[in-house]
Amino acid sequence: MVAGVSSQLLESLTLGRIATAVVVFTISSFIVDFTWKPRYTESLPRVGCGGSLLGTLKNWFYFVTRYNSWVAEGYEKYTKHDRAFVVPAAPSRPQEIVVPRSQTAWMLELPDRVLSTKEAHRDVLHNDYQFFGVDDQFPIGTIHKHLARNIIGLIPGVQEEVHGAIDAAFGKDTENWKPLNLWEAWLGIVPRVTNRIIVGAPLCRNQEFLNSQVAFADDVVRNSILLDMFPRIFQPFVAPFLVLPNWWHWRKSYLHAKPVLEQRLHDMTRKASGTDPAYHDWQPPEDMVTWLIRQAQTDGLDCELDVEMLSKRVLPVEFAAIHTTVITGFNLLLDLLASDPSLDVLETIREETSRVFAEESGSWTKQGLARLHRTDSAIKESMRFSHFSRALTHRKVVARAGVTNTAEGWHAPYGASLMLDMAGTHRDPAIYEDPDVYDAWRFSRKREAYYEERPAEKNKGDAEEAMRVKRLGMVTTSAEYLPFSHGRHACPGRFFVAHELKMVLAYLLQNYELKPLPEKPKAMWLGSNIIPPVQAKIEVRRRKGTV
């Protein structure tokens, strides 16, 4: 009897019926997902195909190709008139409320128990799957407490890695021009330099370790895009398979890092005990591993004092530092090389960095890097001009009662998503003159004029103007400048990134010739993100007379 029933069932499972069942289940899942998402008041204007079920299905279909134009349309129609609007999102995510610039303070000053950065990031990156359930709050808090106070002591080691990494990536041939894949070159520089302050030397030079960290970062980017396309009801089934490469690449990096982590944990535990005379004068190297252990010891978090946990804690830091800095440096060089050759942008930066480097006796200091006003401006302008995402500032409503906007009166329910439009802001002619032009000295002109008109000895009593000029630097965030986000959750690593990029640009231009590009290679929008032209090549040659 049972065999007969089984036989009939198997016979009924034709290919057509299986395909039909999959399609029905998929559509049903999207419909269920639609009913779970927060609903917004009708008073909020919308872009895209509307908020109905049919409109939502259309939005999902067109999201990858039309998202950027939707937000750009909303910026012109609503943001410029101080109005919020709703923009479609990827299938797994709720539609987002784009908050106008005039309401930035309202959005960013609300407490985390109302609008959460952490939960917004978890949704965007699917942290529970991609980072094995280990969130980024402990490492972020650790960076806030330890990076700034140690940054002066970190500069010599970073300089060493910058020089070594660039020499390895660009070569030392002074006779022949060398074609170079620019994306690969930056992947050869940033992971090594960044890991000098994460895991220290010599592990930061272990190429297999670095390759695994880069591959993990690539996994996160790819899987974030893919998981966004699945309804949430699907994700528990597909995510474990999609993130298998994450686990594999983490495991490979862990095997290289394990001896270093074990030794550091052993040494710092003996040091903290105060009972071993051999460790009385010993001091651990200042890097992220040390800071995580030190902070866990201070807070009494024994669960953090585990080698495997330490290796997972650095994953979000590795991802953020590698992914964003590589894209930023890549865009920076493209912007510089595609600039009008008559402006002598490269030569100007070469002169400034060479002069200040000589004044600092051949070793960078925090003060010396701070005097690179034009170099700072060129980097900041590239970050304004060549954004790699439509928005980097997101918040999720976590208050059960939702939140009501004080300026317009609209209500965002629990689970709603809010964002600031970075790309629209950075290309707004009301904020930046000629916003669609890369102007390397956009932010340094006022600084230079200020210091020329007011020599240091005459600046006393002009504190307000001095502070305004100081805010023109690349690490200062504002409602008009959002690459590092803004407010209390602005990127805590931006000070290191500023030093890193300045040192890279200084060494590169002092020691290499680079051929200009006739035009900047085109990037491509994919949903809310830009896919850089990773096949772009440049030609370089070592400058004669350099070591």
CA 470 to chain centre: 24
- A 10 A CB-CB count for 510 gives 15
Beta bridge partners of 412: 403
CA-closest candidate to residue 495, choices 203, 138, 149:
149
Q: Which amino acid is at 199?
A: V
Phi, psi of 209 (to 5 degrees): -60, -45
Beta bridge partners of 529: 389, 526
Whole-Å CA distances, 186 to 166, 193, 328, 440, 451: 9, 11, 10, 21, 34
**204 in a labelled binding site:** no
Helix 117-125 vs helix 207-228: angle between axes, to the nearest 10 degrees? 90
Apex 458 CA angle, 457 and 464, nearest 5:
115
| Core vs surface per residue 109-133: b (16+ CB within 10 A) or e | ebeeeebbbbbbbbbbbbbbbbbee
CA-closest candidate to residue 376, choices 494, 546, 458:
494
CA-closest candidate to residue 287, choices 327, 317, 256, 252:
317
- Looking at 78-136, list the stretches that DSSP marks H as alpha helix, in order from N- to C-terminal side: 104-109, 117-125, 127-130
| Core vs surface per residue 13-24: b (16+ CB within 10 A) or e | eeeeeeeeeeee
CA-closest candidate to residue 399, choices 413, 385, 388:
413
Cβ(116)–Cβ(135) below 8 Å: no
Residue numbers in the known binding site for heme are: 491
Residue numbers in the known binding site are: 491
